[in-house]
Amino acid sequence: MNTFGQLFRITTWGESHGGAVGVVVDGCPPQIDIDISAIQYELDRRRPGQSHLTTPRQEVDAVEILSGVFENKTLGTPISMLVWNKDARPSAYDHLKDIYRPSHADFTYQKKYGIRNWQGGGRASARETIGRVAAGAIAKQILRERSGTETLAYVKQIHALEAMVDTEVVTLQDIENSPVRCPDPIVSSKMAERVDQARRDQDSLGGIIESVTRNVPVGLGEPVFDKLKADLAKAMMSLPATMGFQIGSGFSGITQTGSEHNDAFYNESGRIRTRTNNSGGTQGGISNGEDIVFQVAFKPTATIGKPQQTVDMDGNEVTLEASGRHDPCVLVRAPAIVEAMAALVLTDHFLRHNAKC
């Protein structure tokens, strides 16, 4: 369904074209300070058209809060937020009405539902993430107020260009200073060139987003199915274009032996810590107080300018000539989304932990 979370629960709605997109946040504790400009800031980070590197679509996604907040504080009731769709030029999509775009959701939606909103991707559009980001901004505020927890995400790799980033010290400022949101200044420049090249080629690029969460309380997560790593994996793999998730040592940890890979405990002035963090901040599915570090693989964007072979709804093989503008690398907008999803998962588990103990 369109709901995520158990106690801190969001329900997103809206197609990319049509009235609006939005979210209902349920389960938010009362008396949390709400700063609408902080929500708008996150939406602006997510928005296309922030620089020449990203798609030129120039909507301003201005969020409205319709309920759940009274005199700038949460009431404990559902918070409804929406952003109106302003760029609705349905005719721009007429040529897509009968065509299945490769590696898009057109074909599967049509087969599942027998109907689809073919204007701009409908529910599969990246605009769906607006609701997630708005809700995530509230989750971030809760984590900040209650436990001083902060989640960051940034571009770790684009195509073959991989950045060096120290997860322990990287800041939001470092990330936002880069036009591609890569906090390694040297690799950042190369990435920007590579993205421009892809734009000129009418092609697209994928890459890796890395996320670090610091100051995590010990004890978040549930032992079996709702392990913190499992809920983070689901959150990330529920994003469009994601192809993989790994935490801590991930896929590269398998070439170590157990004696190399185990994180030895030690006593740091009364706080029990681990000397290494191959576990990525969780053990047995539960946060151990070390930084939570994970990576998410995004495939190259499916929308490209180059002609492609595909079929139409009648099964005829046809060539798709895209309409021109495209976003050669969605990664640049992804950090805000990844941070939002991580904050949602952590807040949910924060409340779940409160309930029990």
3-state secondary structure of 209: strand
Cα four-point dihedral sign 179, 182, 188, 193 = negative
Q: Can you tell me which of 51, 58, 67, 171 binds a copy of itself, judged by CB under 8 A?
A: 67
Q: What type of residue is 288?
A: N
User: Phi first, then psi: what are they for 318, rounded to 5°?
Assistant: -135, 165
Which residues is 65 bridged to in the sheet? 81
**Least distance to a copy of itself, CB of residue 171, Å:** 25
Return the range that interacts with a copy of itself (CB under 8 A); candidates 54-62, 69-77, 164-172, 177-185.
Answer: 69-77
For a copy of itself, give the closer residue by CB, 20 or 172: 20
Binding to a copy of itself by residue 4, rule CB under 8 A? yes
For a copy of itself, give the closer residue by CB, 50 or 262: 262
Report residue 102: phi and psi, to 5°: -60, 140
Q: Among residues 2 and 177, whose Cβ is nearest to a copy of itself?
A: 2
Cβ 173 to a copy of itself shortest distance, Å:
26
- In angstroms, give the least distance from the CB of 199 to a copy of itself: 11
State the DSSP H helix or E strand holding residue 194, giving kind and residue range, or none if neither. Answer: helix 185-200
Q: Are strands 73-74 and 161-162 parallel, antiparallel or unpaired?
A: unpaired
Stretch that binds a copy of itself, among 37-45, 174-182, 183-191, 308-316 (CB under 8 A): 308-316
- What is the three-class DSSP state of 335? helix
Cβ atoms 30, 145 nearer than 8 A: no
Tokens of residue 145, six digits: 């107020």
Contact 248, 257 (CB under 8 A): no
CA distance 55 to 17: 17
Cross-strand partners of 2? none
Question: How many other β-carbons are positioned within 10 Å of the β-carbon of residue 173?
Answer: 8
User: Rounded to the nearest 5°, which phi and psi values hold at 295?
Assistant: -130, 150
Contact set for a copy of itself, span 85-104 (CB under 8 A):
100, 102-104
Q: How does DSSP classify residue 312?
A: B
Stretch that binds a copy of itself, among 47-55, 145-153, 183-191, 309-317 (CB under 8 A): 309-317
Binding mask 182-221 for a copy of itself (x = CB under 8 A): ----------------x--x-xxxxxx---------xx-x
CA torsion through residues 178, 184, 186, 190, sign: negative
Q: Residues 230-249 vs a copy of itself: string with x where CB under 8 A?
A: xxxxxxxxx-x-xxxxxxxx
144 binds a copy of itself (CB under 8 A): no
Options 91, 114, 164, 173; binder of a copy of itself; rule CB under 8 A: 114
Q: Which stretch binds a copy of itself (CB under 8 A): 147-155, 168-176, 180-188, 282-290?
A: 282-290
CB of 168 to a copy of itself, least distance (A): 20
How many residues does the structure list for the chain?
357
Tell whether residue 173 is a contact of a copy of itself (CB under 8 A).
no
Residues 19 to 38: which contact a copy of itself by CB under 8 A? 19-22, 24, 26-27, 29-31
For residue 280, state whether it binds a copy of itself (rule: CB under 8 A): yes
Q: Mind giving me the DSSP string for 80-111?
A: EEEEE-----GGGGGGGTTB--TTSSHHHHHH
Size of the site for a copy of itself (CB under 8 A): 150
Nearer to a copy of itself, 60 or 218 (CB): 218
Among 38, 75, 92, 172, binds a copy of itself (CB under 8 A): 75
Residues 46-65 within binding reach of a copy of itself (CB under 8 A):
64-65
Position 41 contacts a copy of itself (CB under 8 A): no
